[in-house]
Amino acid sequence: MLRSGMKWLGRPGFILRAMNTPHADPHPTPVLEVLPRDLSAYKRGNTGIDYVHRFESGQPGPHVLINALTHGNEFCGMVAACHLLDTGVRPLRGTLTVSFANVAAYESFHPEDPFKSRQIDHNLNRIWSSEWLDGDQDSVELRRARQLRPVVAAADHILDIHSTSQDVVPFWVYPHFARNAAVASALPLPSVHLVMPKGLGSGCPVIQHGRHGQADSDAGAALVVECGQHFLQASADRAIRVAQAFLVHFGLLERAEPERTTPHAHRRFELLRTHVIQHEDFRFVKPLKGFETFAQGEVIGHDGPQTITAPCDDCTVFMPARTPIVGREGVYLTRPMP
């Protein structure tokens, strides 16, 4: 069922487009170029954990995890994971694991509210601390995280594929460890890095679980890649390319052909503060998409009685909330790194 003002474009079941009207919502339903596909064929896997597939080469090498659908409406990861499985990718050395994380949230998707299927109960990318995983709380996401815990712990290198609510340039997200920066800088894309010297500030993500969150551990790289807007085909295409490049980098795949991308200087941003929304009356002083800059002391928004100001010159905002929800992140405040 399509809401009034929307129509199908292209192949049935493939592209939805919200039509502009004189009284359009300031956040209209986005173009849905990629929609969910039935993942039931991938449920069984071969690890004893639903939706987790592992392939061993029999040759020495690292164990690489490609993780999709940490959030249920971030379809680019689903496309990349399906591509690896559908094309029969097998590692030349080491071990490859491909996982679909929050399938329950993914299956709740409805095109009339495409952002709602991000999660069922908890944000699956904020509960990877011992406090949450060993605690006595229960939810769809906690049960799934506890199932996936050995999968994440077993991996030497992790690529967690995500996307953004707004159509902004793609970027990496990772703890400020040399091992992460080295891999992100070696890959052909993205060229923007969001670096976390003190963690995310609003919970523990997959890439900081266990030894991957420790500076002095023997862990390999653990990176989030934000591939672009959730529902765009370009984001899905980019996710495939990044996943392949990640596997090539660690020697699990051979490069099929030279990467034909225009080299860009890498831009790095240091996460200074994650603002978590405290009041229903949360608002920005102007519409924000991401990557807008503010001078020190300039007002960015208001959270009830609290004024959110830029802590430095050239303060750059990442991932401003599309729809404010109390208890969720409102905005990430960063500064450019040398």
Residue 131 has pLDDT above 80, yes or no: yes
Helical (H) or strand (E) element with 77: helix 75-86
pLDDT at 257: 66
Least confident of 7-21, 39-53, 101-115, 156-170: 7-21
Report the C-alpha gap between 46 and 52 in whole angstroms. 7
The rounded percent of the chain whose pLDDT value lies above 90 is 87
Mean pLDDT calculated for residue range 140-154: 98
Is the Cβ–Cβ distance between 172 and 190 less than 8 Å?
yes
The pLDDT of 113-142, averaged and rounded, is: 97
- pLDDT at residue 95 greater than cutoff 90: yes
CATH superfamily of this structure's domain 40-249 = Zn peptidases (3.40.630.10)
Q: Is the pLDDT of residue 328 over 90?
A: yes
Overall CATH class of domain 267-336: mainly beta
Give yes or no for a contact between 103 and 120, defined as CB atoms under 8 angstroms apart.
Answer: no
Q: Region 209-226: what's the mean pLDDT?
A: 96
Whether 200 contacts 122, CB under 8 Å: no
Q: Is the pLDDT of residue 78 over 90?
A: yes
Is the pLDDT reported for residue 258 higher than 90?
no
- Domain ranges within the chain, ordered by starting residue: 1-31, 40-249, 267-336
For residues 144-152, give the mean pLDDT: 98
**For residues 106-117, average pLDDT:** 95
Query: Has residue 20 got a pLDDT over 70?
Result: no
**For residue 47, how many other CB atoms are within 10 A of its CB?**
15
**What is the average pLDDT across 259-286?**
89
β-bridge mates for residue 224, sequence order: 160, 173
Contact 180, 174 (CB under 8 A): yes
Q: Which one-letter amino acid corresponds to residue 88?
A: G
Q: What per-residue confidence (pLDDT) applies to 260?
A: 60
